């Protein structure tokens, strides 16, 4: 994401193909809802990565989006993409409900993993062009309901899904996507 400040994609091979805007996360190239909407009428090859929890995704999502909400899911996505086709011209667009935490976090994780996997051929990347959708699904839905499936919006904090929220929060915060981890214990010794 270093090249972002210069208006270049991640591997600095060209400028962004989409118009970017200033957003909450200044280190991430950000697009608005109208730019996202216009992609449906373009010849661009793009993938929308919806980082919300599955119950939110099922309650309404942007047409064609895939639901990935864990770091393990991002790793699996990267591996599968690399095995099946060239990713050089793919545009990835990340978002969550508001594009405040989950979307940016997983976008940064993909960028970091991509950089690490390609350290031997710097500055090349497998996914050089990635964006964050400003305002997330909520903003997109407000202006583009017809491009959502189903045409609905289910907030993360919806009262009917409090158990789901607890379950998926634990899974998404774990590096092992829900498996138990051992905790290291620090021994604090008294100075006396």
C-alpha closest to that of 128 among 5, 35, 8: 8
Q: What strand order describes the sheet that includes 66-67?
A: 30-31, 129-133, 91-95, 46-50, 66-67
Residue located via tokens 């409900």: 97
Q: Which residues contact 83 (CB under 8 A, 6 or more apart)?
A: none
Note whether 1 and 27 are within 8 A (CB): yes
The position carrying tokens 């590096």 is 175
Contact assessment for residue 70 and residue 25, using Cβ atoms and an 8 Å cutoff = no
Whether residue 148 lies in the annotated active site: no
Catalytic residue among 4, 51, 96, 148: 96
Q: Which two tokens stand for residue 112?
A: 């970091």
CA pair distance 103, 60, nearest whole angstrom: 16
Residues annotated as catalytic (active site), given as ranges? 96
């Amino acid at each position: 994401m270093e090249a972002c400040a210069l208006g270049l994609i991640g591997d600095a091979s060209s400028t962004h193909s989409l118009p970017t805007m200033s957003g909450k996360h200044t280190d991430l190239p950000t697009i608005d809802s109208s730019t996202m909407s216009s992609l449906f009428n373009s010849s661009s090859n793009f993938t929308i990565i919806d980082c919300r929890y599955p119950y939110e995704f099922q309650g309404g999502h942007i047409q064609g989006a895939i639901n990935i909400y864990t770091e393990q899911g991002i790793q699996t996505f990267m591996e599968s993409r690399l095995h099946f086709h060239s990713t050089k011209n793919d545009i990835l667009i990340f978002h969550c409900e508001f594009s405040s935490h989950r979307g940016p976090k997983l976008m940064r994780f993909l960028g970091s993993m991509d950089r690490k996997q390609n350290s031997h051929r710097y500055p090349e990347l497998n996914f050089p062009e990635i964006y964050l959708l400003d305002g997330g699904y909520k903003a997109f839905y407000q202006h583009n309901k017809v491009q959502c499936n189903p045409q609905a919006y289910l907030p993360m904090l919806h009262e009917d899904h409090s158990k789901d929220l607890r379950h998926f929060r634990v899974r998404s915060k774990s590096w092992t996507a829900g498996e138990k981890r051992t905790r290291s214990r620090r021994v604090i010794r008294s100075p006396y």
